[in-house]
Structure 1
Amino acid sequence: MELQQLERQIQKQLPRPNGVEIVKTKQFSIPIQTILAKYTPIRRIPMDILMKMMLLTFQTGRFQDVEMVADVLLVEALFIEDLLQKMKKTGLVTVEETIQLTEKGRSQLAAGIFEEQLEEMEQELYYSPLHEAFLQGELAEFDEFPDELSHEKMAVWTDEQIVAASSNDDDDETFITSINSAEELQIHDVPCFQYVLHDTNKNTFDIRVFNTFTNAWDVQLEQLIKASEQNDKN
């Protein structure tokens, strides 16, 4: 993608009331770091009737095998066996001399919610040290990259930030409670366009910045640049 051509397109989209003119333009890059996050999500769903019946049965009686449970609940032993294995795997029951509920089993029975640990997943996330946050966007290929904006911020994130960035708001059943690992993969240069605006009616100046990664005007970068320029004046 040609950077100059995109900059001209963005400049045309810049909202400018009457009396406001562009007096200066600038291009710079910001670093975006790719992080490979690995986590084991948990699925939480309402407990089905048969699982509730089995857990209640184990809570109130002593059962040694699947056949005894099937006779009491009048359910095929095959269904009981499949569900019992699932309960063992997820830690809801233990099977020794008799089938016993664990503390986890009692807790989930009381809540009526079944929690199942899924297979480990991985996801690439994009962290911006200047924003001190993970950003949603798309990396684009450009014919050139301007100089990087001067800054002293390091890439420091928390597991809580990774959990929030990895979570899917459209999925009400699957949750991420912890991160297994986070690996730094690569740092990308992301071009940004800066415009200095002069309001001739008020004789005031303002700065607008367009971020090509988020494809949006970036208020946080604007505030960062304004604060930096103010410190330079002082």
Structure 2
Amino acid sequence: MELQQLERQIQRQLPRPAAVEITETKQFAIPIHTILAKYTPIRRIPMDILMKMLLLTFQSERFQDVEMVADVLLVETLFIEDLLQKMQKTGLVIVEGTIQLTEKGKAQLAAGIFEEQLEEMEQELFYSPLHGAFLQGELEEFDEFPDELPHEETATWTDEQIVAALQNDEEADEPTFITSINSAEELQIHDVPCFQYVLHDTSKNTFDIRVFNTFTNAWDEQLEQLLKASD
């Protein structure tokens, strides 16, 4: 993509009254860090009737085998076995002589919500030190890149920021939740061009700065405030 051509297109889209004129245009680049985050999501769904019946039964009575449970609940043994294995795997019950609820099992029974840990997943995220946040957007290929905007900010993200960015970007068929990050690895740093315009309102004799971020494809208020503060 030609940077100059895109800049001209953006300039035509710049909203400004007739009394406002562009006195200066400038291009600069900001760093965007690509972070590979690995995490294990948790699926939370309403507990089905059979699981709730089993947990209530294990809470009130002691059973040594599946056949006894099946006889009491009048449910096929195969269904009980499959569900019991699932509850053991997710830590809702333990079998130590008899089938017993764990503290986790008691808590989920009280809430009526079944939580299941899914397989580990990974996703690339984009962090901007100048924003101190993860941004959503797309990296574009340009024929040239302007000089980077001088800055002192370092890339210091937190797990909480990664969790929030992943949760906001989730598009699962069922609601999933992310409570912790297994790892976060920095893969690459990209230069992202931005366009800066200095506007002069001749009717008020005031100046303003507008900045278009090509990564987010939007006017960037945070960069505008940063530049105004540095003037």
TM-score (norm 2): 0.97
Q: Tell me, what secondary structure is at the counterpart of 1:214?
A: coil
Give the equivalent residue in structure 1 for 2:16. 16
In structure 2, the partner of 1:156 is 156
| Match of residue 213 from structure 1 | 215
Q: 1:96: how far off?
A: 1.8
List alignment gaps of at least 5 residues for structure 1.
Answer: 230-234
Q: Which moved more, 1:181-190 or 1:162-171?
A: 162-171
Q: Which residue in 2 is equivalent to 1:7?
A: 7
Describe the SS at the equivalent of 2:148.
coil
Aligned position for 1:93:
93
Amino acid at match of 2:138: E
| Structure 2 residue 165 is matched with structure 1 residue 181 | no
CA distance in 2, matches of 1:99, 1:154: 53
Q: What percentage of aligned pairs have identical amino acids?
A: 85
**SS of residue paired to 2:68:** helix
Give the Å deviation of 1:170.
Answer: 5.4
Displacement after TM superposition at 1:164 (Å): 0.3
Match of 2:72 in 1: 72
State how far apart, in whole Å, the 2-side matches of 1:151 and 1:62 are.
66
Alignment pair present for 1:26 and 2:30? no
Runs of 4+ in 1 over 2 A off after TM superposition: 168-173
Distance 2:182 2:62 in 1: 38
Q: Which amino acid aligns with 1:12?
A: R
3-state SS in 2 of match to 1:223 = helix
Matched, 1:112 2:102: no
Consecutive unaligned residues of structure 2, counting only runs of 5 or more, are none
CA deviation after TM superposition for structure 1 residue 18, in Å: 1.5
* Matched AA of 1:87: M
Deviations 1:112-170 (A, max 9, x none): 01000000000000000000000000000000000000000000011000000001465
CA distance in 2, matches of 1:89, 1:41: 16
Secondary structure of the structure 2 residue equivalent to 1:207:
strand
CA distance in 2, matches of 1:169, 1:42: 12
Deviation string, structure 1 residues 96-123 (Cα, Å, up to 9, x no partner): 2100000000110011010000000000
Whole-angstrom CA distance in 2 between matches of 1:219 and 1:66: 62
Aligned residue number for residue 232 of structure 1: none
> 1:222 — aligned with what?
224
Distance 1:204 1:102 in 2: 67
CA distance in 2, matches of 1:119, 1:77: 28
Name the amino acid aligned to 2:118. L
Letter of the structure 2 residue corresponding to residue 23 of structure 1: T
RMSD: 0.9
CA drift of 1:173 comes to 2.2
Secondary structure of 2:131's counterpart equals: coil
Matched to 1:156, the amino acid is: T
The answer to whether 1:194 aligns with 2:196 is yes
Q: TM-score, normalised by structure 1?
A: 0.96
